[in-house]
Amino acid sequence: MTRTAPAELPAVAPTPGRPFGVYIHVPFCATRCGYCDFNTYTPAELGGADPGEWLVALRAELSLAARRLGSAPQVDTVFVGGGTPSLLGGTGLAAVLDAVRTHFPLAPNAEVTTEANPESTSPLLFEQLREAGYTRISLGMQSAAPHVLAALDRAHSPGRALAAAREARAAGFEHVNLDLIYGTPGESDDDLMRSVDTVVEAGVDHVSAYALVVEDGTAMARRVRRGELTPPDDDVLARRYELLDARLTAAGFDWYEVSNWSRPGGECLHNIGYWNGGQWWGAGPGAHGFIGAVRWWNVKHPNTYAQMLADGRLPVSDCEQLDAETVHIEDVMLRVRLRDGLPPSLLSASERHRADTVVADGLLTRMADRLVLTDRGRLLADAVVRDLLD
């Protein structure tokens, strides 16, 4: 892997035939949840920068991006994430999508997702988002248990996430996701099962479920260090994953990536792009982009981001040109996590040989000439990657 000088994006040209997405990062939250280390800022942390300035800067970045790409490629998917995009309200999120459309042609059936926090949504917001052209809503529910939401410092009640999902569907959103976190200190198996039942009751077509990661530097990590909170061990996490997978499968969801389940047709195409050879421009503070074999990431602070764009510069912090070996390693790491699995032709002769051992160990299985994780393999996906790549 060769690293270029900081803040200089080399010429990037999308490879034809690979899906193209736009990711927009909204770096604002009303308060910070104790477990979260995402690039997001509360009003107190921002010292003056506001969403209005961010939107001006975002428009400038998208304009520079389209110019940099020459003829802007057709966009298959847009994903507005955060932070808390729903803090921008219907008008703000409509302006974000307009900014994308001004500089990039959207495919006729483009998937356009926004993340939203249950407490900053309403029936009116969902109607405005439909009107603006959004096609998919992703809500951070995390849990249906009040004490789990409290341990995570979430601002919403369990009932609000369920109501928000229903309001989104009533506004005409066919595609609604609920995010769950499992393994929060104090969560029981029953708590998780109630959360999954609530997701099923909400009638959504997509669920993402992530094991809680205690990130260094967060308030939760400090509480764990002081002994105030005890995260569950790996065996408990594995059992929780099996429980939630069984309950979701019984309710008509299928896993399509290790942490993602959908009803038929409900898969998130934008995220599939990340895992399966897609390319995207990442706009906004701290956003990452990947086009051709170039990956880059923007400066993190909204003030620096706005200042660089005001100076007419792309707000790139650093970038790297991936060599063929790194592209291959990342391809294997990401694609093995998909239910579609790995085509053996992607693997080298020695990797195919090692794959035989992983199959014999019961972690991979062959399905229609693909290597697909078994149920046990899904619990040990990182080890499978290590075994394959040696």
Ligand X SMILES: C[S@@+](CC[C@H](N)C(=O)[O-])C[C@H]1O[C@@H](n2cnc3c(N)ncnc32)[C@H](O)[C@@H]1O
Per CB under 6 A, 82 contacts ligand SF4: yes
Please state, in angstroms and rounded to a whole number, the distance separating the CA atoms of residues 265 and 136: 12
What SS3 state is found at 178? strand
When CB distances are held under 5 to 8 angstroms depending on the partner's kind, the choice from ligand SF4, ligand X, none that residue 32 binds is ligand SF4
Taking the complex as a whole, how short is the minimal distance between the CB of residue 158 and ligand SF4, in angstroms? 16
Q: Is 319 left (phi over 0), alpha (psi -120 to 50) or beta?
A: beta
Distance CA 178, CA 210 (A): 11
Q: How far is the CB of 235 from ligand SF4 (least distance, A)?
A: 26
In the complex with ligand X, the residue whose CB is nearer, 199 or 212, is 212
Q: Which is nearer to ligand X, 103 or 160 (CB)?
A: 160
Nearest residue relative to ligand SF4 (C-beta): 36
Residues 214 and 221: their CA atoms lie apart, in Å, by 6
* Count of residues near ligand SF4 by CB under 6 A: 11
Tokens of 278: 């897609």
Which residues sit at the interface with ligand X, rule CB under 6 A?
35-36, 38, 82-84, 115, 117, 140, 142, 179, 181, 210, 212-213, 215
CA 290 to the chain's CA centroid: 15
Which partner, ligand SF4, ligand X, none, binds residue 179 by CB below 5 to 8 Å per kind?
ligand X
CB 281 within 8 A of CB 23: yes
By CB under 6 A, what part of segment 29-68 binds ligand SF4? 29, 32-33, 36, 38, 40
Q: Which of 86, 117, 121, 128 is close enough to bind ligand SF4 by CB under 6 A? A: 117
Residue 275 near residue 335 (C-beta atoms within 8 A): yes
Residue 188: CB atoms within 10 A of its CB come to 14
3-state secondary structure of 230: coil
Min dist. Cβ of residue 351 to ligand X (A): 30
Q: Which of 140, 158, 185, 273 binds ligand SF4 (CB under 6 A)?
A: 140
Question: Which residues pair with residue 140 across a beta bridge?
Answer: 179
Candidate ranges 79-87, 197-205, 268-276, 330-338; the one touching ligand SF4 (CB under 6 A): 79-87
Question: CB-wise, 238 or 293, nearer to ligand X?
Answer: 238
Rounded CA separation 245/224 (Å):
28
User: What residues line the site for ligand SF4 (CB under 6 A)?
Assistant: 29, 32-33, 36, 38, 40, 82-84, 117, 140
